Amino acid sequence: MRVLITGASSGIGYEVGKLLANRGHLVYMTCRTEKEVSYLQEKLRVEGISAICFKLDLLSSDIDLVDSLDIDCLFNHAGIGVGGSVLLLDEDALRDVYEVNFFRSFLLLKKVYQHMVEKHIHGKIFVTSSLLSLFPLPFLGVYGSSKAAISHLVKTLTWESRVLGNHISFCLVEPGAYATGFNQLMMDTSFRYEEVSSFTISIYQMQRKLFSLLESKNISYLAQRIVREMEQKKAKKILRVPKIQGLLLKIYFLFFE
């Protein structure tokens, strides 16, 4: 396979790229900044992994680079998050999250999709969403709702592609909480937009405890599951890992909603 991965500098994107490269696939691993690209290249060099790395910032004209790539699999993984009350966040924070997680993410997906159709490629498109798209946790609503939007769109595209007769499959990856540092970074942004008070601090501490209990450290298992689906002739429409987190969230909402 020839696979393009966005958001590959660390965490899940990095682990998937590394595993694919080790399994002999041609992998394009992209990052948001040149500094991250240099850091990624050095990590791969140390680990003896061969992959093509370059800058692909979804908010810039970098997105046009995909027009020159001949790929048969996209892992649309790049995303950002912000914590805090939806009612207190400023408009710029809301727009930034939706631009990256929804609008520009979809534009990239559309470009790759159209390329596959024109080249008659039986391709696969994997899009990272989140379990938070299904379970609206307080003070993480902006991130969760942006992922809910892209999830709905991908599910719709799955049906539309079938009706149109295009041989392109979609897989929506809805991971739970993983110990990549992303969740902590998202929660830390709460204090950029909200006045610090005993209430906001208590909410922040509660979220920290919740994620410390939920977060899985087994990122390699998730990467293996994603790669396994990529290598299948027909991938699952939805991949949720770990399943236990979805069950725990259902129980949480059963008692506290």
Instruction: Output the six-digit token pair for 119.
Output: 């080249």
Instruction: Output the six-digit token pair for 253.
Output: 């909402």
Give me the helix-helix angle, 104-118 and 141-164, nearest 10°.
Answer: 20
Beta bridge partners of 172: 127, 238
* pTM greater than 0.75: yes
Instruction: Output the six-digit token pair for 187.
Output: 């929660």
Is 92 strand, coil or helix?
helix
Nearest of 86, 83, 69, 84 to residue 123 by alpha carbon: 69
- Backbone dihedral region for residue 120 (phi beyond 0: left; psi -120 to 50: alpha; all else: beta): left
Domain edges within the chain = 2-256
Other C-beta atoms lying within 10 Å of the C-beta of residue 51: 21
List per-residue pLDDT tens for the chain, 257 residues long. 999 999 999 999 999 999 999 999 999 999 999 999 999 999 999 999 999 999 999 999 999 999 999 999 999 999 998 887 788 788 888 899 999 999 999 999 999 999 999 999 999 999 999 988 988 777 888 999 999 999 999 999 999 988 988 889 999 999 987 778 776 666 666 655 555 566 666 666 666 676 766 667 789 999 999 999 999 988 899 998 877 766 666 666 666 55
Q: What is the CATH number of domain 2-256?
A: 3.40.50.720
Q: Which residues contact 118 (CB under 8 A, 6 or more apart)?
A: none
Please state, in angstroms and as integers, the Cα–Cα distance from residue 82 to each residue in 127, 172, 203, 208, following that order: 20, 22, 14, 14
Helix (H) or strand (E) holding 104: helix 104-118
Is 123 strand, coil or helix?
coil
Please state, in angstroms and as integers, the Cα–Cα distance from residue 167 to each residue in 111, 150, 237, following that order: 16, 21, 14
Is 55 strand, coil or helix?
strand
Is 239 strand, coil or helix?
strand
